[in-house]
Structure 1
Amino acid sequence: MNASSTKPTSSTASRRGPDSSDRAQAQIFAAMLTAEIDAVSALVDEAELLAHKARRVGQGTARLWHNEEARSQRKMLYELHRQLDALHTRFPDVAG
């Protein structure tokens, strides 16, 4: 009993584009990425502010630590933006 399947193959599905469940999942992921971008942006701002304050009061070690923290968080921020851009490339109609 080798009945042919009416289910589309993966190559057929990919030619049609993403289905609605893929779009729904992408929308949720975009919202999560956007929230994470907002949170990490706040961490960058806070670390930069603390580094500035440490420099102003002559705390060189603290300034270096906060500058490194800001750099590290900024690196994460760039990666989150890269992921969101890639998601928008794949799903242009997804907000976020």
Structure 2
Amino acid sequence: MLVRIVKMGFYKQNIDVFLENFDVTKAKIRSFDGCSYLELYRDKKDPSIFFTYSYWESEAALENYRKSELFHAIWGKIKPLFSIRPEAWSVDKIEIVNS
């Protein structure tokens, strides 16, 4: 399983636009073939910084999403809203520790 973490920063006036767009598209992203999990986080100290956290069955599944019309439509809408260059990491989950 591949875990994808994306950090995005938005101009203050664009935060609501981003959140509305995420609300409209989150189910489509989550139901995309190969995606098994999706969460959105907001930084505690800087409310203009957000992170998405998603699980993909493989790197190929993530690449299929990144090449899809859905991704290009979403990215086309949010890219102009960024205040900083987005950053992304693909990582492997090593271990889950439960109490």
TM-score, structure 1 normalization: 0.33
Q: Which has the higher strand share?
A: 2
Bigger Rg, which one: 1
TM-score, structure 2 normalization: 0.32
